[in-house]
Structure 1
Amino acid sequence: MSGRTVSVPDDIKSVYAMTHAMPLVVALAPDKLAGFASPRAMSAEALKLLPPELSKLPNLGGGPDANLEKLKDMKLDIALGWTSPGESYPARQIERIGLPVVNIEVDRLDQYPATFRFLGRLFHREALARALEREMAEVQAAVAEVKTPKPRVYYAESQDGLTTQCDTSDRVEVIARAGGVNALHCEPGAPFAANYPLGLERLLTLDPDVIVTRFAATAEAIRKDPRWAQLKAVRAGKIFAAPNAPFNWFDRPPSFLRALGARWLAGKLHPEVKLGDLRADARAFYALFFGVTPTDADLDQLLAP
């Protein structure tokens, strides 16, 4: 999907999927996944929401941390990378061991239907694109009906909550899809559009209506920290940790689960929107994309406030 021509086997049996490509293979062809590409081992909470056979897979490292010697010994068919310019270096490293790298588009959620169709042809599997398009369209239509002002949302990405993303970054597209506005506006070409370090003083001037955290522990720490208590979002109790299993619904790795993330956040920002039962929708989505139907207890843990 980056415009190159790559020779690959017609019958692909084993794939090393680099970090952001990994969730797609988990959904579409889990039997072809050679291992997880992650900076840390998959948690028990995440594995519980994936097919049980995946719990036996090794962690092969992601991007520049990939274990090239191990990958070479495994005699894989292809590696999956993605089209972002910054990922050309790890792809070149993998190609040095003779493993062809096929690039897919994963940066923005609207790219995923085409990516699912591309991988469906590559793996000779039925793509999941239509279900994803339907999920995205339902949220878009519901949010379009909202007449109230869009809440200003701050994304607390780091553990301490003081690293975020500019509104120009694809990493926070869930906010706009859910009918919100990113509290941090940056001019085009800002040096830290992604992974923007923000002091607490600057955050106080932004004074967002809602805070979304990447980590549940961050949300809990913000609620208890008197330094954050001056913020409008904290005073109103509008601090929400993004669901995080088996992959984060908001970011890191960015994945098709952002479609559920938009539905989840739209319900927080606009309780009046008609989006149906999030629990039922999440259960059906997981059954379709991961082959696992979450129990009530799984959903309680996943969607905990």
Structure 2
Amino acid sequence: MSIRRATFLISLTLAAISIEGKASAEPITITDQGNRVVSLKQPAARIASIPIPMASTIISMDGGTSRLVGMNPTAKSAIVEGILGKIFPEAKDIPSGITAPNFIPNVEELAATNPDLVVQWADYGANIVDPINNAGLTSLLISYGTEQKARGYQAMVATAMGKPERAEMVNGWRAEVEAAMLEKGKAIPVDKRPKVLYLGRALESLSASGNKGNYNAYSIELAGGVSASADVVGQGTTVSPEQIAEWNPDVILLNAFEAKLSISRIHDDPILSLTNAARNNKVYKMPLGGYRWDPPSQESPLSWMWLADLLHPDVFSYDLRAEMKKAYATLYGYQLTDADIDGILWIGMQGDTANYAQFKAK
């Protein structure tokens, strides 16, 4: 680990301790990702989050759950099913009835949380934003789809809490890991970059989410792969087993959103089991940590390392378990156990897949 990286991790940990409970009381102005100016008289002490990924982001940027007063039910399922429910058991009691699955707010439930700020999507029309504003609540709009947008909304919510330094350091970690991976990736020839397919849904239907320019394609390319579905139209496009067989991916990544989804979904399918990925035992389920590792989150550098070590262990060679322990101490003030890491990485389900032995406890 570089001296710069070590210094960063130490400073981030110290800053997390030193700023706890010391947010500025000055007025705050933010231009959100809907290009709206949002004004707060003081840092938001009560935040309700309708977008799925923002709940765990708020927890990590604040170092606790005290400001999160409402969240999306799918975000809550990630907490209940994942490690955050163990780290912050009180999060299981935070209301999740503030929104329907289509992100239309339940205004009555939302108002009952008495929020200083409501986070909502910027990209799905006025019908999911206007009810919030019409109820006299202050909204902050975020946009999904790229790494830069993720860094932007993490910075916005940290600023809204009066803790901009927190996002600056976390995003600094992202940028440093990204730069190091891009540099190492230069050594990987084009013909050595495996075709990787990410399936955003795989139980009742199959959807591919690696179209060119989106976050899944970005993370695959960063880790030294090529998105098998780069030419699909739109985010989460429904595909057939025959289409996947035609792509014939070398690696298949299964989403962490479907709790009952396992790698047997691919191996037991009469068509999908014929792909290079299945034949070479390179089907993996995305880890579930403080949030699911498929979309961008505060833990994204860990997901990049995980995938890079799977695709090119000879090029990247991260000590993922050590990196996870450092990151969790910083993000959540929690010391991961080996059993915790085994659960996050699904060691019990996929510990015998290709290249996965490197992630087992030594």
Length-normalised TM-score, structure 2? 0.75
The reply to whether residue 24 of structure 1 matches residue 57 of structure 2 is yes
More moved, 28-37 vs 277-286: 28-37
1:178 maps to 223
Report the Cα distance in structure 2 between the residues aligned to 1:33 and 1:267, rounded to whole angstroms: 34
Question: How far is 1:81 from its partner?
Answer: 2.4
State the secondary structure of the residue aligned to 1:107.
Answer: coil
Report the Cα distance in structure 2 between the residues aligned to 1:6 and 1:138, rounded to whole angstroms: 35
The reply to whether residue 276 of structure 1 matches residue 318 of structure 2 is yes
Structure with larger RCO (C-alpha < 8 A, sep 6+): 1
Structure 1 contact 113–133 (Cα < 8 Å) conserved:
no
* Backbone CA RMSD of aligned residues: 2.4
State the secondary structure of the residue aligned to 1:197.
Answer: strand
Report the Cα distance in structure 2 between the residues aligned to 1:297 and 1:4, rounded to whole angstroms: 44
Label 1:283 to 1:230 Cα distance change in 2 as closer, same or farther (>3 A). same
2:38 maps to 6
Per-residue Cα deviation, 1:222-266 (whole angstroms, up to 9, x for no partner)? 123333221111111110111023311113xx4233322111111
Structure 1 contact 166–194 (Cα < 8 Å) conserved:
yes
Question: Which of 20, 45, 53 does residue 90 from structure 2 map onto?
Answer: 53
2:253 maps to 212
Question: How far is 1:105 from its partner?
Answer: 4.5
1:114-193 equivalent positions in 2, closer than 5 A: 114-125=152-163, 126-127=165-166, 128-147=170-189, 149-160=192-203, 162-168=206-212, 170-172=214-216, 173-186=218-231, 190=233, 193=234
Report the Cα distance in structure 1 between the residues aligned to 2:270 and 2:277, rounded to whole angstroms: 13
Per-residue Cα deviation, 1:86-133 (whole angstroms, up to 9, x for no partner)? 254322222221111112344322333444333333211132322332
Report the Cα distance in structure 2 between the residues aligned to 1:87 and 1:277, rounded to whole angstroms: 43
Consecutive unaligned residues of structure 2, counting only runs of 5 or more, are: 1-31, 351-362
Question: How far is 1:198 from its partner?
Answer: 1.0
Question: Which of 224, 231, 243 does residue 202 from structure 1 map onto?
Answer: 243
Question: Which of 56, 73, 82 does residue 38 from structure 1 map onto?
Answer: 73
The reply to whether residue 90 of structure 1 matches residue 117 of structure 2 is no
Structure 2 contact 308–316 (Cα < 8 Å) conserved:
no
Structure 1 contact 13–32 (Cα < 8 Å) conserved:
yes
Label 1:275 to 1:35 Cα distance change in 2 as closer, same or farther (>3 A). farther
1:241-252 equivalent positions in 2, closer than 5 A: 241-251=285-295
Question: Which of 114, 117, 134 does residue 75 from structure 1 map onto?
Answer: 114
The reply to whether residue 238 of structure 1 matches residue 282 of structure 2 is yes
Label 1:168 to 1:150 Cα distance change in 2 as closer, same or farther (>3 A). same
Q: Which runs of 4+ in 1 moved over 6 A?
A: none
Report the Cα distance in structure 2 between the residues aligned to 1:140 and 1:9, rounded to whole angstroms: 41
Question: How far is 1:169 from its partner?
Answer: 5.2
Label 1:146 to 1:234 Cα distance change in 2 as closer, same or farther (>3 A). same
Report the Cα distance in structure 1 between the residues aligned to 2:135 and 2:325, rounded to whole angstroms: 40
Consecutive unaligned residues of structure 1, counting only runs of 5 or more, are: none
% same residue: 22
The one-letter code sitting in structure 2 at the alignment partner of 1:94 is I
Label 1:198 to 1:275 Cα distance change in 2 as closer, same or farther (>3 A). same
Label 1:240 to 1:80 Cα distance change in 2 as closer, same or farther (>3 A). same
Label 1:275 to 1:97 Cα distance change in 2 as closer, same or farther (>3 A). farther
Report the Cα distance in structure 1 between the residues aligned to 2:147 and 2:131, rounded to whole angstroms: 27
The one-letter code sitting in structure 2 at the alignment partner of 1:152 is K
Report the Cα distance in structure 1 between the residues aligned to 2:220 and 2:37, rounded to whole angstroms: 36
Number of equivalent positions: 298
2:5 maps to none
Question: How far is 1:209 from its partner?
Answer: 0.7
Question: How far is 1:275 from its partner?
Answer: 4.0
Label 1:116 to 1:184 Cα distance change in 2 as closer, same or farther (>3 A). closer
Report the Cα distance in structure 2 between the residues aligned to 1:243 and 1:76, rounded to whole angstroms: 31
State the secondary structure of the residue aligned to 1:217.
Answer: coil
The one-letter code sitting in structure 2 at the alignment partner of 1:211 is I
Structure 2 contact 272–278 (Cα < 8 Å) conserved:
yes
Question: How far is 1:301 from its partner?
Answer: 1.4
Question: How far is 1:219 from its partner?
Answer: 1.5
Structure 1 contact 78–99 (Cα < 8 Å) conserved:
yes
